[in-house]
Homo-oligomer: A and B are copies of this chain.
Amino acid sequence: MAGPAHPYGLYREFDRELGRVWRIGQASLYARMKRAEEEGLATVEVAETEGAPDRRVHRITAAGKERFLAWMGGPSERVRDIRLEFLSRLYFFRRLGLDGLEDAVSLQKSALASRIAALESGIAGAARSRDEYWRLVLEFRRSEAKAVVAWLDVCIATNGRKV
């Protein structure tokens, strides 16, 4: 996405930057990139180097770009995935200088809004049926979801300030 890359180099970069959020092992990144190739999301070309082992240089395909951008734009379905996914998206938005962060934020916020609405109806139901435990569980989830919404607002504000 930011030009051709080989796993080793990408790992060095990620380990310093994205690695603070999304810890990924070297061998794991190799496996993912190999899989991306098998799925036709990237093409691989072996490039010779001077005084170093050959590199398996990966180039993203149209299908790969599409998949990546869909992932960048789309909201995370599960609240617990936002921690990893949205913070990673944020990293890529900044790293690649992409725009559309505002859209991604609003999409995620509206996904969270319906999630919260569902949780609140569940909470009301649990309260009605005196299911204290279930009510607490749902309140936990609502609390988390609301915290993410509040953070997304901070996120937009910060980004707006920068632009």
- A residues near B (Cβ < 8 Å) are 20-21, 80, 83, 87, 90-91, 94, 132-137, 139-140, 143-144, 146-148, 150-151, 154-155, 158, 162
Of B21, B80, B134, B136, which is within 8 A of A137 by CB? B21
Of B20, B83, B162, which is within 8 A of A144 by CB? B83
The reply to whether A136 and B150 form a contact with Cβ atoms under 8 Å apart is: no
In the complex, what distance in Å separates the CA atom of A45 from the CA atom of B136? 37
The reply to whether A155 and B143 form a contact with Cβ atoms under 8 Å apart is: no
Report the 10 A-B pairs with minimum CB-CB distance, sorted nearest first.
A147-B147, A143-B151, A143-B147, A140-B151, A144-B147, A87-B137, A21-B137, A94-B133, A136-B155, A143-B150
Of B87, B91, B132, B136, which is within 8 A of A140 by CB? B87
The reply to whether A133 and B90 form a contact with Cβ atoms under 8 Å apart is: yes
Contacts of A137 in B (CB 8 A): 20-21, 87
